[in-house]
A and B are shown apart, each in its own frame.
Chain A
Amino acid sequence: MERKPIIHIENLKKEFQVGDEVVRALKGVSYDIFEGEFVTIMGASGSGKSTMLNILGCLDKPTSGTYELDGVSVRELSNDKLAEIRNRKIGFVFQSYNLLPRTTCIENAELPLFYNHEVSAAERKERAINALNLVGLQQRLHHMPNQLSGGQQQRVAIARSLVNDPVVIFADEATGNLDTRMSYEIMGLFQDLNRQGKTIVFVTHEPDIAKMSKRTIVLRDGLVVEDIVYEHQVDAKEELAKLPVTD
């Protein structure tokens, strides 16, 4: 069966002008990510992984090279068009959750749909509730972020990333603010979503997290130095069970 590439990048370069110096953050990166993959992008700080994710997430444009997201060439698009792509095709999960304060889970989860005029208010709410059910927060629909634990807040953020039914979810250090237990819980959730067919790209610098994905792309100094496909995916829930119980 021919697998459909969700992300196709070829010789991707990104340069920044910092003062008189030109910083080359990405020096020609190429790879494909196919539908249903769970990819982690690893690298030390300065390796270009943040730049990589910004470009993949259509928040930034490459200086040169090809980037096709779900068959759409992104480099020529206007800012408004990019916003539309982000709205329809991409889900974001951030390290610091980025939930709106004093706003209920439902309202947080439905946020992307506010920018999609094809979705009515009723449908918006329904889809937000469905997404919250999917991440196991059906009991917390009307809670505010400050009434939730870090893990629960990140679940709301994941629900928000799912609500527009994106072709790919980008997670930026999504477990970075969580302890090991909660990190594994979240990874378990991502694994579940991946099993249901979601394509996930996950930036991290923690090797144990990376091993819970199916493939790891390692960046160093703006180049891909390793592209590992794991034969055995570590199951997050099993790992969670192995953790010593603490109070």
Chain B
Amino acid sequence: MVFSNLIKVSWKAVILNKMRTFLTMLGIIIGVGSVITMLAIGEGSKQSIRSQISQMGSNMITIRPGSQRVGGVRIDDGSQRSMTLKDVEVVQSCMNIDAVSPIVQSSGQTIRESNNWPSTMYGVYPEYLDIKKMELKKGSMFSQRHISQSSKVAVIGQTVVTNLFGDEDPIGKTIRFKSTPFQIIGVLESKGENTFGQDQDNVILVPFTTVQKRILSITYVNSIVASAKSEDAAKQAVEEVTNALRKLHKSNEGNDPFSVMSMEELLTTVSSTTEILTALLVAIAGISLLIGGIGIMNIMYVSVKERTREIGLRMAVGGRSKDILLQFLTEAIFISVTGGIIGVFVGIAAAKITTFFTQWPTIITGSSLLISFFVCAITGIFFGWYPAKKAANLDPIVALRYE
């Protein structure tokens, strides 16, 4: 049969059973739609994580106490306290390292007159700003002199400003954190939420020594951040720092009481996590596509059974097995592809709606559309094949007399 005739005949069959065709299509529409939505959510979160991490500074290196690997490795109970300023010095002495800052942190209520707000206070070096790629909106950062004097000065984030000061200018004002008064000398430029939903503006930066000695009275540091001399040097820097710290802690691979991670590694870790999550979501969505495919197979079986006499007739008037096969296959593909096209639009719409209601970023890539489309064409061929083959193999004599 000529292609145009094939289309005509299949279209006719589809049109004659509008409701049935639509319901069958619905399975594919939902399947494809959900695959596309899930891919869009996955891609969206991946992209936003990427951009945020690179915003944080791609040459940043984070050193934390404790083992990066937990499974099967014994963790020293005191590992959380295993890092001190000695580690900071060791990191500073590394060739590939540009700047270093220890971090000690404490969370608690911050009070200003009758207002209070829960926030986190970070005790850091002045270099912290550069390492973290943070900017000052107004005022100034504390200096080395503030560190050596354990001054009670603070640079605060936008959230803290909003909640404690409203529209007032906070510079020069005093806030209290755990009953210690701090004078505000600077305000940070807003950074917004990070990928994990954490408010990056709800911070109070204070000289390292002030938090360590005055607030917490501890001798260790919570973590260390450093910046590599350049982005390219980040990898070498990680290696160098690891080796230097191993020397200091007399540890070796597998039982290091610390972990060193560059942003690039963090990026890979986070990306792989989101990728696994995306794969999971898509797999679940894929199951609905599969069920849609089975729906097509089911309806094609019904159709072949129902139209047995028609098949017999078509064969009697000159339809070859091949023609019958193609006719039913075209019908199946027609349903799946039309469903696929509608599903693509439904998927795009669903992604947009998801973003609208949840603020999750969604990105629809051309490849996801293309893949979904082809998967559904293949679904049509795959699930349409067997019923079509059954139709094509009918004996016209038997089919013509089928009741």
Contact = CB atoms under 8 A, between A and B. Distances in A.
Interface of A: 54, 57, 59-60, 79-80, 83-84, 86-88, 92, 94, 98, 100, 102-103, 107, 111-112, 114-117, 121, 160, 164
B310, B317, B319 pick with most chain A CB within 10 angstroms: B317
A98 B316 CA distance: 11
Nearest to B319: A115
Interface in B317-346: 317-323
B314 interface: yes
B319 A83 contact: yes
Contacts of A98: 309-310, 312-313, 400
A240 B9 CA distance: 39
A87 B314 CA distance: 10
A114 B310 contact: no
Contacts of B12: 103, 107
Interface of B: 1-2, 4-5, 9, 12, 16, 309-310, 312-323, 396-397, 400
A87 B5 CA distance: 16
A164 B316 CA distance: 13
A115 B397 CA distance: 19
A39 B314 CA distance: 25
Do most interface residues of chain A lie in helix, strand or loop, or is the interface mixed? helix
Contacts of B1: 114-115, 117
A59 B317 contact: no
B318 A80 contact: no
Nearest to B327: A114
Given A83-B321, A116-B318, A121-B5, 10 more contacts: A59-B315, A80-B320, A86-B316, A92-B317, A102-B16, A107-B12, A114-B319, A115-B317, A117-B1, A160-B317
Contacts of A112: 317-318
Nearest to A60: B397
Given A54-B397, A117-B1, A117-B2, A92 B316 contact: yes
A81 to B, nearest CB: 9
A111 B12 CA distance: 13
B318 A94 contact: no
B397 A111 contact: no
B398 to A, nearest CB: 10
A88 B400 CA distance: 19
B316 A57 contact: yes
5 contacts: A59-B315, A79-B321, A80-B322, A84-B318, A100-B310
A114 B316 contact: no
A59 B313 CA distance: 11
Contacts of B323: 83, 115
A116 B319 CA distance: 9
B16 A59 contact: no
Contact of A87 (B312, B317, B397): B317
A98 B396 CA distance: 13
A80 to B, nearest CB: 5
Contacts of A116: 318
Contacts of A88: 318
A80 B321 contact: yes
Contacts of B318: 83-84, 86-88, 112, 115-116, 164
A84 B1 CA distance: 11
B9 A59 contact: no
Contacts of B396: 59
Contacts of B310: 98, 100
B397 A114 contact: no
Nearest to B307: A100
Nearest to B315: A83
Contacts of B397: 54, 59-60
Nearest to B12: A103
A117 to B, nearest CB: 5
A88 B317 CA distance: 9
